[in-house]
Amino acid sequence: MADDPLKLKKLESFLDKGGSPQALPIKDESEIVGWSPHTSVKKNVQDGMANLSLGPTAEEGLETKSKKKGKLPRKSNSTSQAGEGASNDAKELSKAERKALFEKERAAKGGNLPKKEKLSKAERRALQEKQRAAKEATKKEGGEKKACDSLAGNKSGQSQGSRNQKEDAANKTSSSGTERKRRGSVDNMGDVSAGVEASAEQDEQSDSNVVELFAHLPQFVPASQVSILAKKAPIHPAIHALGLKYAMGSIRGSNGRCIAMLEAFKEFVMDYRTPGDKALSWDLDKRLRPQIQFLIDIRPLSISMGNAIKYVRHVVAKVPPDQPEAEAKEGICDAMDAFIQERIVFAGKAIADYAALKVADGDVILTYGRSEAMSNVVEELLLGCRRQGRRFRVIVADARPDLEGRATVQRLSRAGVPCTYVLLPSLAYVMPEVTKVFLGAAALLSNGAVGARVGTANVAMTAHRMKKPVMICCETYKFCDKVSLDSICSNELGDPEALATTPALKDWGKLPKLKVLNLLFDLTPIEYVSMVITEVGMIPPTSAPVLLREYRKEFEG
């Protein structure tokens, strides 16, 4: 045991000097304390360690990596000392030599490929233009081929060809960013295909005459050239007749259109029959949607019509499931009658009473055009002032193409009121003698802006410039929670033919550079409005959101 520490010390000193365990002067491995494997497993352990592979050594890995990069690995000290005879092979190649070796290997693998010539900026641009021209030519050849195929496959007769022509015109319009909505009527005694052919010809002529700024709006199409019978869902006769009147322009004004729509809905509801396995509130609302969409396809809905439709659908949804059908339909019709009387008819009379309080003796009142709300206000105002003995004068401003102010002048003159009739360009001439301005409205937005017949904003701005009060007469059912800052995003287009009445513009549709725009509405900013007269009183335009909130509470309650 005394010799054991001496043996261990000899082993440690020998290993520190770099000696190999195989060179130890030890006869038996069991003589080393701490490492004495059993004699039965000694042979197996030695065989397992001999067969164990730990992968390539560091020198072998460096040599493989250097071969991939085209370099020769550096030899370690022991290797360089062992192979001094091959020192020339172990020398590191210079950059030029490595490049030459790489070129030689590449030529041996894939041949000596020529390098791509560098092009100047002008040459690259010319090449791009050439490639672009070739691409456009390919597209053009493909389009011509499709057109030839479609013409070859069209063998359905003259009416079918006219329908394809109309579809091609519609596709051209949609590709240029123009969405078209067809509105109009069909002569029941005539042939429907003739109207479709005329509409296709009109589309081809009007494609180039669309004003790009208003191309997103539904373009006007004359009623006599559009078929409105081909619809997916069946349309009630009352709704169909109403659509024909809308298309031909026999019903105008937001109040008139809204009342006519509600009357048609009443007929639809009375003729409705609930299926045995469905509830009236759910099925009636489902059947009502195609009727509403039909009217939208004929002409875009006004703000007042949209609010009336929301009210009708709300009433339908509130019908109890166990209520008898006849009683439920009667209740829905009574609700629509109440809406007409309270929110439209009585509201107009209340507005006239409030407006009469603002008229004094010797006033000169300016109005623009004619609308249902404004005509009712003027009529009630005249009767009230006559009973009270007040004297005033009215100036009616008007504008083309409808010249609706003529009807207002005729009614006022019959009532014995002194009137002056001027066109819109003469407004600045008569405005100095005006004391008050009364205007109608089609909608009042939540930001206080007023939507009305086109030209209303011009009148309001001129009056504001000359310090004249501008009072807007508007029912509360025309209030809207939307916000708009211009008349471009949301508007409606009228018939351009109504403006082209002179012989020089008779064939304006054939002139590709001439564009005729007939806007129906404009937007008056809040700063040009002094007061809004409603059936609930006189309010500033900034109070529109307050009334909207109160009516929404009543509507939801």
| Amino acid 499: pLDDT | 86
Which long-range contacts link 408-411 to residues 24+ away (Cβ below 8 Å)? 408/367, 408/369, 408/370, 408/374, 408/375, 408/378, 411/375, 411/378, 411/379
Cβ-contact 449, 416 below 8 angstroms: no
- What does the DSSP 8-state code read for residue 33? T
Contacts of 398 (CB under 8 A, 6+ apart): 368, 369, 404, 405, 406, 421, 422, 423, 424
| Amino acid 77: pLDDT | 46
Q: How far apart are CA 383 and CA 411, in angstroms?
A: 12
Strand-by-strand arrangement of the 521-524 sheet? 443-444, 450-453, 521-524
Q: How far apart are CA 64 and CA 67, in angstroms?
A: 5
| Amino acid 160: pLDDT | 46
Which long-range contacts link 102-106 to residues 24+ away (Cβ below 8 Å)? 102/70, 105/70
| Amino acid 145: pLDDT | 56
Other CB atoms within a 10 A radius of the CB of residue 427 amount to 21
Residue 112, Cβ density class (10 Å: 0-12 exposed, 13-18 middle, ≥19 buried): exposed
The pTM assigned to this predicted structure is: 0.63
| Amino acid 224: pLDDT | 64
Contacts of 416 (CB under 8 A, 6+ apart): none
| Amino acid 285: pLDDT | 93
Among 192, 182, 151, smallest CA distance to 168 is for 151
Determine how β-strand 450-453 pairs with β-strand 392-398: unpaired
DSSP 437-504: EEEE-SEE-TTS-EEEETTHHHHHHHHHHTT--EEEE--GGGB-S---SSSSSS--B--GGGT--SGG
Say whether domain 223-344 belongs to CATH 1.20.120.420: yes
pLDDT tens across the length of the chain (557 residues): 445 666 666 667 666 665 555 555 554 544 444 445 555 544 444 454 445 455 555 555 555 555 544 444 444 444 444 444 444 444 567 888 888 888 877 777 655 555 556 677 778 878 888 888 888 888 777 655 555 554 444 444 444 444 444 445 444 444 444 444 434 333 333 333 344 344 444 444 455 678 888 888 887 766 665 455 546 678 888 998 888 888 888 888 888 899 999 999 999 999 999 988 888 999 999 999 999 988 888 888 899 999 999 999 999 999 998 899 999 999 999 999 999 999 999 998 899 889 888 999 899 999 998 755 455 666 677 667 777 778 889 999 999 888 888 888 888 888 888 899 999 999 999 999 999 999 989 999 999 999 999 999 999 999 999 999 999 999 999 999 999 989 899 899 888 888 888 888 888 878 878 888 899 999 999 999 999 999 999 999 999 999 998 888 777 65
**Do 349-556 and 223-344 fall under one CATH topology?**
no
Angle, in degrees to the nearest 10, between helices 280-298 and 237-248: 20
Q: How far apart are CA 496 and CA 221, in angstroms?
A: 9
The answer, yes or no, to whether the previous bond of 114 is cis (omega within 30 of 0) is no
| Amino acid 537: pLDDT | 92
DSSP 241-296: HHHHHHHHT-S-SHHHHHHHHHHHHHHHHHT----TTS-HHHHHHHHHHHHHHHHH
Domain chopping of the chain, boundaries: 223-344, 349-556
Q: What residues pair up with 538 in beta bridges, in sequence order?
A: 533
Among 209, 288, 260, smallest CA distance to 497 is for 209
Contacts of 486 (CB under 8 A, 6+ apart): 523
For 111, 269, 343, 422, the CA distances from 331, given in Å and listed in that order, are 93, 10, 18, 48
| Amino acid 385: pLDDT | 76
Contacts of 508 (CB under 8 A, 6+ apart): 209, 496, 500, 514, 516
Cβ-contact 223, 184 below 8 angstroms: yes
Determine how β-strand 436-440 pairs with β-strand 363-368: parallel
Fold of domain 349-556? Rossmann fold (3.40.50)
